[in-house]
Structures are given as C-alpha cells and as structure tokens.
Amino acid sequence: MPSRLIRYSAASGRLWLLGFSVLLFSFALLRKTPAEQVKVYYDAHLHQLHNALTHFQERAYQADTIVLRTEFAACRREYKALEFAVEYYYPHAAGRINGAALPETEPGEPGEVIPPSGFQVLEEYVYAAPDERATRDLIYQELDNLLFQVRQLEQQAPHLSFSDAEVFNAVRLNLYRLAAKGISGFDSPAAHASLPEAAVTLQATREVLALYEVPAALTSQLRRCEATIAAPRQDFNSFDRARFFTRCFNPALAALHQAQLQLRIPFVRDRRAVRPDAASFFVADAFNSSFFAPTDAAAPTPAVLALGQALFKEPVLSGKAGRSCASCHEPSRAYTDGLRVNSSLLADAGLERNTPTLLNAALQPDQFYDSRVHFLEDQVHAVVTNKAEMGGQLSQAPALLRKKATYAKQFAKAFDKEKQPITERNIRRAVAAYVRSLVGLNSRFDQFLRGDTAVLNNQEILGFNVFMGKAQCGTCHYLPLFNGTVPPLYDKTESEVLGVPATTDTLHPRLDADPGKFLLYGVAHQRHAFKTPTVRNAARTAPYMHNGVYQTLEQVLDFYNKGGGAGLGLEVPNQTLAEDRLNLSTTEQQAIVAFIKALNDTREVAY
C-alpha cells in the first residue's frame, strides 16, 4: 500500500505541475504578438520535453518494458510538438535528436564519421531487449545524449525570436516532412508509431496556427487530417495514404497557403528546392532546379538549351572515339540505354556501372552512383574526359567546334555577352543547362494528387499505399521526387547499402564486388553504398541496380521482399536495408509495379 501511495502522490505532483505550466502558458500569451506567442509555446514544450526525458531517465533501470515504451512514446510526442521549430532553426540539433540510426559523415569532412544518436537509436534499445543490464545502460546513456541536446536548445532559447513569415514557412516544411517521411515510418521503424505521432504533429500545427487566428477553413482541414490519421483501430499497413493526401492533406496545404495570403504574411525569400510561395510541393512548378545548380550556371534561355541539346548529340566532344552523350542516354529510352552496362572504350569489356536516367537528374544535389560530384557541369566534364566512357578532352573541344560554322552562330547567340563564347566552360554550362531542363513531374500519379482522382485505378492506388507503408519503399525513395534526396529541404542525397548480388542466382548468391562510395574516402560504413535513384520513369529504364543485375521490376521487388543481400544469405554487416522479409503478397508486389508504371512522365522531351 505505501508504494501505491507514493506512486499516486508522484503522479498527482506531475499533474499539478503540468496544470501549473498550462496556467503560466496561458498568462504568458496575453498581450503578445502571434510570433511572440509561438515563442512562448516553444519554450513551454521545450521545458516539458526536458522534464519528460528526465523522468524517463530516472526510471531507466527500474521500469518494466511496457513502462519504458510508454515513457519513450511520451518523450517522442513532446518532441513532435516542437519539431517544426527545431528542424527549422536548429537543423544540426534536430539531426542529433531525431536523425536516422546510422553513422553519418559531414559534407565538409567526408572522412569524419559521426555515430548515430537520438530518439531512433533509443527506440532500437527500448524495442529490442530492454531487460538486459547492458541495454539499460545504453538507454540511460542515450537519454543523456538527448538531454544534452535539449539543454543546448534551452541555452539558446533566450536568443531565439520568431517572425510570422518564418513560422508559416517552418510549419509548411514540417507538413512536407510529415507527408514524405512521417507517415512512411521513416523515424519510427521499431515502435511503428508513425500514425499517432503524425496526429501529434497535426495537432501542434493547428495549435501554433491558432495563435494567428487563421481562417476557420484551415483549422477545419487540419482537424480533419488529424481525425483521419488518428481514427480508432487505424493500422499502419492498411492506412489509405492516397485518400488521406487527396481528401485531407492537400486541401489543408491549400488552405494554409490561402490563409497566409489572407493574413498578408509574406513568404520567406530563402533560396530553396521547393519554392517557398508554392501552394504545395505536389504542384507542377513547386521544385526549382536552379537550387541544385552552381551560381555561375548558364541561364536556361532557348538559345542555351538549343546549344546544349546539339552538344549533347555531338560526337566531336569525344575526339576520335565517335561517342556522344546521347550514345548512352537515349531519349527514347528515358535517357538510358537499355543495357546492363554500356561498353568501355578501353577494352572489350563493359563499363563498371549501369547508365542512369537523366530525367529529373537535376533535382538532386549529387551526381553519379557514388555521389562524387555535386553539379551537372562537373558531371559533364567527368564523363567526357573519362577514357572508358567518352575518351575526350574538353580543352581540345573548342577548337574542333569552331571548325563547324553552325556552332559559331549558336555559341554567339547563347553567350552573346562574351567576346569568345566557344570555351570549355561554356560547353559544360550549355550541356548541363540542357540536362537541367529534362525535368518532368507530370505523371498520372502527379495528376492524381492534383485532383484528378479518376486517373489511377484501384491497383495503382493500392500500390502507392503499399509502397509508402508496408513495403517501406518510401523511407528511402522519398515522396514526391521518389529518390534519395532528403525532404523537405532537399539539400542532401542519401546512399544505401542493399547487398546487391552480382548475378540473379539465388541458390548460390555472390555479393557484387563494386565498393561503391567506399572508393571515395575509405569510410567503412560506405562500403557497397550507392545513391538512392529515382523510381520515376523506372518502368522505362530497365535493367536495374548499379550493376544492371535485374531485368524486371518484379525481380527488384522480389529482392527487397527477401530482405536484400542479407536476406539472401550474403554477409553484408553494414546493410542499411532491413534484412527482415517484407512478406509482401503477390498481389501487393504486382500493385507496386503498377504504381511505379503510373510514375512514367507524360511529358515528351524534345530531341
């Protein structure tokens, strides 16, 4: 009985403190601007997160598994209420608090490995074998890491001020994050709490925007989103994401955009991959390919694009080899070549890797399977001068092009402000500008999300729902680009270790020998790592994987369904793909293939 009284007393104390915090929060909101009220909201929830983590740590060694998971869920809910602001103002801290449970490397220090930390690491411990003493130690230690990050945020809180434009931008980006990562299960791989946590995100969004007295239409749409996603007996695998997006989420984004216009709150002028003033990242012109271009990129004028297209087909760039960019990137094949690997110019052999599509290649911050260059201009140089691929020398190309009268006129028109326009630099810029123009986001699936719900059949809709849910495809191929460029800022490209085999022999599988990204910096966790490509137009770009090992999408789905290389029995200790079987039925796999075919773009690229 005494122990029960102590627990009751402690619980009552926490409830009293929570009630007192709410009272203080209410008083603090009086006579403040909406942006200042958001700051009060932020401070209050940051304090509550600190308390929740502290309480969890106090019980880390004594509590049973059920209590541990309850404590974990409470902490995650508090963070979800803050996520919009932490991700916006302190992205580095956000990565340490809720980043993927995988080692990372900084772009400026690619050889420096940063071990994972935060909620996703903690989740693995809490949902693995928490009764072991060693695991309890790890739980306590990870809570220490989280508390350190929260204390850092608290120290910086007095210096943080919100503006109206930033609040609306932060909220919008967080809704994109919910759509692309939240409901796919990305940050709740073990707890499988993505839907309840998404409901918390939507509730927090509504509470923050209520401080601005936004139109009732927006509040109503957010409530509808929240109710849909938090419906009783909602199941992660069966959740109808397609219906959620078209009937609830997209109308909410539209209402948010309209509310900002109505309240005359300006859109931020930040240079972003998704235009800050776009109504949604699903609209046709939401993405800005110039975000991924260098500052000296050529403007995509008609003259520059016409020149770039001509140079794309020009074998002179390869010297005597007679090969052009179009030799491997055929427009009729969605800018691939249909081969496992193309032939090498050096010997009677194939190139090392499969030819990727150039469609939407501009919408990513890194190029090549190993992400070794950032800009398309650098990719042009690397391919043209590669002795195995094109064997040319760009330094000699200007002199060769000057011998063709048509190029003198085209360069002069494209770069009319330069005295000597036919230069190595302008060759790279023109071809890159042309490739950058090969952006198409108008598939039947895009049309479906934009309101034409009759354009997809039931099988394709099922395929999308399985892709984003049970099959876990959406945790690497992020919606709506469906590549590894990380939303909502799209300033980073992810690579994955899948354990791709050298052949299709499943009885005696052998790991493909290509070390992938490991060749760049020798980082152990990047051995056999390759950039996550887009699945847009994938139905037109067979064969698949970096080595072209699979000829059909069905073979690719079978590989993933079995758990990748590790699931086939290969030794891939650093595999980032979960090795557990997905248990996808034949119907589900066929539906995913049907959905991928619905991602074929309807835009015809001129050639």
Quickly tell me which residue has 């932490």 as its tokens.
86
> Given pLDDT bands bounded at 50, 70 and 90, which one contains residue 6?
very low
Q: List b or e across 570-587, with b for residues whose CB sees 16 or more CB atoms inside 10 angstroms.
A: bebebbbbebeebebeee
Quickly tell me which residue has 């200790």 as its tokens.
573
Which amino acid is it at 52? A
Instruction: Say what the pLDDT of residue 17 is.
Output: 55
Instruction: Say what the pLDDT of residue 443 is.
Output: 96
Average pLDDT of span 62-76: 95
Question: Domain 444-597 has what CATH class?
Answer: mainly alpha
Peptide bond into 543 cis (omega under 30): yes
Which contacts of 150-159 are long-range, i.e. CB under 8 A and separated by 24 or more positions? 150/46, 150/49, 150/50, 150/53, 150/97, 151/50, 152/93, 153/46, 153/86, 153/90, 153/93, 154/46, 154/47, 154/50, 156/90, 157/42, 157/43, 157/46
CB proximity list for 586: less than 8 A, separation 6 or greater: none
For residue range 250-288, list pLDDT tens digits in order: 999 999 999 999 999 999 999 999 999 999 999 999 999
Quick check: 147 pLDDT over 80? yes
What would the two tokens of residue 532 be? 């996550």
Count CA within 13 A, CB hemisphere, residue 528.
Answer: 21
Mapped onto helix, strand or coil, the DSSP state of residue 74 is helix
Q: Which fold has domain 33-162?
A: A middle domain of Talin 1 (1.20.1420)
Q: Judge whether 482 and 494 are in contact, CB under 8 Å.
A: no
- What does the radius of gyration of the chain's CA atoms come to, in whole angstroms? 26
Average pLDDT of span 495-522: 95
> Given pLDDT bands bounded at 50, 70 and 90, which one contains residue 606?
very low
Instruction: Say what the pLDDT of residue 15 is.
Output: 52
CB proximity list for 83: less than 8 A, separation 6 or greater: 94, 98, 174, 177, 201, 204
Q: Judge whether 104 and 116 are in contact, CB under 8 Å.
A: yes
Q: Judge whether 331 and 435 are in contact, CB under 8 Å.
A: no
3-state helix, strand, coil in the chain (%, to 5): 50, 5, 40
CA distance 298 to 279: 28
Instruction: Say what the pLDDT of residue 98 is.
Output: 96
Instruction: Say what the pLDDT of residue 41 is.
Output: 97
Q: Tell me the percentage of the chain whose pLDDT exceeds 90.
A: 87
> Given pLDDT bands bounded at 50, 70 and 90, which one contains residue 128?
confident
Backbone angles phi, psi at 395, to 5 degrees: -65, -25
Quick check: 106 pLDDT over 80? no
Using alpha carbons, list the distances in angstroms from residue 313 to 180, 210, 299, 309, 359.
37, 56, 20, 7, 16
Instruction: Say what the pLDDT of residue 203 is.
Output: 97
| Among the listed residues 451, 445, 466, 474, the one whose alpha carbon sits nearest the alpha carbon of residue 539 | 445
Count CA within 13 A, CB hemisphere, residue 334.
Answer: 25
Which contacts of 445-454 are long-range, i.e. CB under 8 A and separated by 24 or more positions? 445/595, 445/598, 445/599, 446/282, 446/284, 446/480, 447/602, 448/242, 448/246, 448/598, 449/245, 449/246, 449/250, 449/282, 449/480, 450/282, 450/283, 450/284, 451/246, 451/250, 453/246
For the chain, domain boundaries: 1-31, 33-162, 163-270, 290-436, 444-597
Cα angle, residue 286 at apex, residues 282 and 288 outer, rounded to 5°? 140
Cα angle, residue 72 at apex, residues 70 and 78 outer, rounded to 5°? 105
Q: Average model confidence (pLDDT) for the chain?
A: 93
Quick check: 512 pLDDT over 80? yes
For residue range 199-253, list pLDDT tens digits in order: 999 999 999 999 999 999 999 999 999 999 999 888 999 999 999 999 999 999 9
Helix (H) or strand (E) holding 106: strand 104-106
CA distance 59 to 579: 32
Q: Judge whether 331 and 605 are in contact, CB under 8 Å.
A: yes
CA distance 504 to 545: 12
> Given pLDDT bands bounded at 50, 70 and 90, which one contains residue 371?
very high
Q: Tell me the percentage of the chain whose pLDDT exceeds 70.
A: 94
Cα angle, residue 217 at apex, residues 215 and 219 outer, rounded to 5°? 80
Which amino acid is it at 271? R
Quick check: 9 pLDDT over 80? no
| Among the listed residues 351, 304, 293, 352, the one whose alpha carbon sits nearest the alpha carbon of residue 323 | 351
Question: Domain 290-436 has what CATH class?
Answer: mainly alpha
Q: Do domains 290-436 and 444-597 have the same CATH topology?
A: yes
First to last CA, the chain: 82
CA distance 552 to 386: 29
Quick check: 148 pLDDT over 50? yes
E-assigned strands of 432-580?
A: 495-497, 529-531
Instruction: Say what the pLDDT of residue 2 is.
Output: 44
Average pLDDT of span 435-456: 96
Peptide bond into 34 cis (omega under 30): no
CA distance 108 to 128: 34
Quick check: 362 pLDDT over 80? yes
Quick check: 11 pLDDT over 50? no
What would the two tokens of residue 424 be? 């190595």
For residue range 312-355, list pLDDT tens digits in order: 999 999 988 889 999 999 999 999 999 999 999 998 889 999 99
| Among the listed residues 132, 512, 126, the one whose alpha carbon sits nearest the alpha carbon of residue 352 | 512
What's the residue count for the chain? Answer: 607
Instruction: Say what the pLDDT of residue 111 is.
Output: 73
> Given pLDDT bands bounded at 50, 70 and 90, which one contains residue 604?
low
CA distance 37 to 25: 9
> Given pLDDT bands bounded at 50, 70 and 90, which one contains residue 10?
very low
For residue range 546-580, list pLDDT tens digits in order: 999 999 999 999 999 999 999 999 999 999 999 99
Instruction: Say what the pLDDT of residue 129 is.
Output: 79
Quick check: 22 pLDDT over 70? no
Cα angle, residue 197 at apex, residues 132 and 119 outer, rounded to 5°? 40
Helix (H) or strand (E) holding 113: strand 109-114
Using alpha carbons, list the distances in angstroms from residue 487 to 295, 491, 532.
22, 8, 14
Quick check: 360 pLDDT over 80? yes
Average pLDDT of span 5-31: 53
Quick check: 607 pLDDT over 50? no
